[in-house]
Structure 1
Amino acid sequence: MRIGILGTGGMAAALGSAWTAAGHHVMIGGRDRVRARQTAERISASGHGTLTDAAGHGDAVLVAIPAAQAPAVVGGLAEHLAGRTVVDCTNPLAPTGEGLMLATSDGTSLAGRLAMAAPGAHVVKAFNMCHVSIWSMRPPVFEDVALSVPYCADHPTAIVVTQTLISSIGCTPAPCGGLARAGYLEATAAFAIGLWFAGGQPRAVFPSPAESPQP
């Protein structure tokens, strides 16, 4: 699969490296061509270029830029993203005195804002639940169970593309409904990341139903 990545930071490198290792053709795109080249070389990507180059590269486009900048960037690339699966891995978080809160306080998910900015694209929310270091694992397996990756998507082709992106790096796709539910994934990420920062263990909050006492 041909994958364009918007961004040159940690998530771009970690997921890009995983997809390159899985045999996908990855292009890194950034505002800074030098950083794009350095990131591409570090992960052995197929190529590098501008954000526009990456947006028009292939079947899927990963949005791996700061959440506050993402709607404007995606809106500026809307014509190049039309008809493509656009995967939003960002978390619109804002630190407050009460802990991490969603920066999208009007009730619209960040993924929903990207869909409005590029109405011709097939936007998906995925890969936002884990720290960047998790995506550097080959594969991410915990207690002999492959990592599940929740995603929200509407378009049938985008669902298939997303499932391929997830399964090709050794993870299990976990469908969570349409894009209207993306805000739940963003809110869950805010909760989980806040718990990590506080020294807690999010996995302890969600025991397996199979481990519960049977009635």
Structure 2
Amino acid sequence: MRIGILGTGGMATALGGAWTTAGHDVLIGGRDQERAERTAALVGAAGHGSLTDAARHGEAVLVAVPATQAPHLVDHLAADLAGRTVVDCTNPITPTGEGLMLAVDGATSVARQLAATAPDAHVVKAFNLCHVSIWTLRPPTFEDVPLAVPYCADHPAAATVTETLISSIGCTPAACGGLARAAYLEATAALAIGLWWTGGQPRAAFPSPGEVPHP
């Protein structure tokens, strides 16, 4: 699959490397061409170029820029993203005196903002719950169980593309409904990251019902 990546930071590097290892055709796009070239070389991507080049390259396009920048960038590239699966992995969180908080009002999400600015693209929320280091594992498996990757999508074809992106790196797709539910994924990330920062283990708070011992 052809994948364009918007951004040259940690998530672009980690997921770009995972997808390249899985055999996908990845192009890294950035504002700074030296950084884009370095990132592409680091992950073994097929090439690098501008943000527009990356948007036009991919059947799928990963938005891997800060959440505050994502809506403006996608708005600028809306025509180039038309008809493509646009995967939003951003987390709109900000540190406050009360801990990490969502930078959106909770009634919407960055993913829905992207969908509003690029109405002809098929926006998906995915890959936002794990630290960047998790995506460098080949594959991400814990206690012999592949990592589940929740995603929210409205468009059936985009859901299929997203499941390919997830399963091809050894993870299990976990459909969580339409894009209206993307705010829940963003809120879950704010909660989980806040727990990590304070030394907690979010995973310990979510045991499977099957793990409960019966008398």
**TM-score range for the pair, normalised by the shorter chain length:** over 0.9
**Paired residue secondary structure (1:56):** helix
Q: Which residue does the alignment assign to 1:169?
A: 169
1:33-112 matches, within 5 Å, as 33-105=33-105, 107-112=107-112
4+ aligned runs moved over 4 Å, structure 1: none
**Cα distance in structure 2, aligned partners of 1:178 and 1:109:** 12
Paired AA for residue 143 in structure 1 = E
| Alignment correspondent of 1:30 | 30
Moved more, 88-97 or 99-108: 99-108
2:57 aligned counterpart, secondary structure: coil
Partner Cα separation in structure 1 for residue 58 and residue 16 of structure 2: 14
Are the aligned partners of 2:167 and 2:173 in contact in 1 as well (CA < 8 Å)? yes
Following superposition, the deviation at residue 184 of structure 1 comes to: 0.1
Give ranges in structure 2 of 5+ residues lacking alignment. Answer: none
Counterpart residue identity of residue 36, structure 1 = A
Q: Does 1:208 align with 2:208?
A: yes
**Greater Cα offset, 47-56 or 101-110:** 101-110
Aligned to 1:157: 157
- Equivalence for 1:193: 193
Identity fraction in percent: 74
Match of 2:139?
A: 139
Report the CA distance between 1:115 and its aligned residue: 0.4
Instruction: Tell me how far apart the structure 2 counterparts of residues 163 and 30 of structure 1 sit (CA, whole Å).
Output: 26
Size of the aligned set, in residue pairs, is 215
Alpha-carbon displacement from aligned partner over 1:34-87 (angstroms, at most 9, x marks no partner): 100000011110010000000000210000000000000000000000000000
Return 5+ residue gaps in structure 1 as ranges: none
Secondary structure at 2:123's aligned position in 1?
strand
The reply on whether 1:9 has 2:9 as its aligned counterpart is yes
